[in-house]
Amino acid sequence: MSQSCPITPDIEAIYAHRPADIDPEHWRARVNLAAAYRLAARQGWDDIIYTHLSLRLPGHDDIFLINPFGLRFDEICASNLLLIDTQGQVVDGTGRRANPSGFAIHGAVHRARADAHCVIHLHTDASIAVSALSCGLLPLSQHAMRFWQDIGYHPYAGLAFAPEEQEALLKQLGSYPALLLRNHGALTCGRTVAEAYVLMDALERACRIQLSAMAASPQLHLPPKDVLALTHRQLLPGNEPEGLLEWPALLRKLYQSEPNFCR
């Protein structure tokens, strides 16, 4: 007797629990960012209550969604995300607490890059380890080839609170989709939550693969530069943001086991 496939939710149903007083695009932004937090927690990308995923509120240049300071990534849902301004101050009238110092890097990137609607900054073991290597990210995998000559490096100079430190970080990020902060972690930015998330997923996998290969043998095989350049071009998304196909699949998977993220 054949088993039937599990029922998967319609994507629009995931966005259907919108409070009456919130604009539909605002609510979709909340749901998507909350999903990214939950997915990051599943991947083990969280750092207790530290690091952040931020998203520019649709239709606003200076208002962003971010996690309340003190909550774990797996506690985030659409309704408990904060609204903050470019200085990291809460502006939604709830009186809840944000982490202004944690938003320092995010705010700088959001202000400098009109295309950086979503910014993800993490302290994962793999990204910190690769950032600490003099060679940086090597094109040892197809995942890493997505970032071939398309990733910045920011030397460690303490916590990025000072304006001059943020300025230096922005210079090294430039127009790249990703940045490795030496001895610190990784950052990706995207036109959508989906794009920033799948870029971080590719970067994290690339870092883990590199560390595994380096641990297995000092003899590493790198493809020739013309192949690296070709593969990088093939992996670029074009005019559409990355993650268009992956994101609905990730949302469906998350909704099946953690449906409260979209409440």
Residue 208 has pLDDT above 60, yes or no: yes
SS3 240: coil
Question: By CB neighbour count within 10 A (0-12 exposed, 13-18 middle, 19+ buried), where does 228 fall?
Answer: middle
Any bridge partners for residue 122, and if so which?
A: 186
Confidence at residue 136, expressed as pLDDT on a 0 to 100 scale:
98
Mean pLDDT, rounded, of the chain: 94
Task: Label residue 87 by pLDDT band (50, 70, 90).
Answer: confident
Whether the pLDDT of residue 3 is over 70: the answer is: no
Q: What pLDDT score does 1 carry?
A: 45
Break the chain down into helix, strand, coil percent, rounded to 5. Answer: 40, 10, 45
Separation between Cα atoms, residue 36 and residue 200, nearest integer Å: 11
Instruction: Determine what percent of the chain is predicted with pLDDT higher than 90.
Output: 87
Question: For the sheet containing 64-66, what is the strand order?
Answer: 82-84, 64-66, 52-56, 118-122, 185-190, 178-181, 152-154
Confidence at residue 86, expressed as pLDDT on a 0 to 100 scale: 87
> What does the pLDDT average to over 235-259?
95
Over residues 55-60, the mean pLDDT reads 97
- The lowest-confidence range among 45-49, 102-106, 226-230 is 102-106
Minimum mean pLDDT range among 4-18, 40-54, 83-97: 4-18
Q: What's the confidence (pLDDT) of residue 217?
A: 97
Name the pairing type of β-strands 178-181 and 152-154. parallel
CA distance 48 to 29: 24
Spatial CB neighbours of 41, under 8 Å, sequence gap ≥ 6: 72, 73, 74
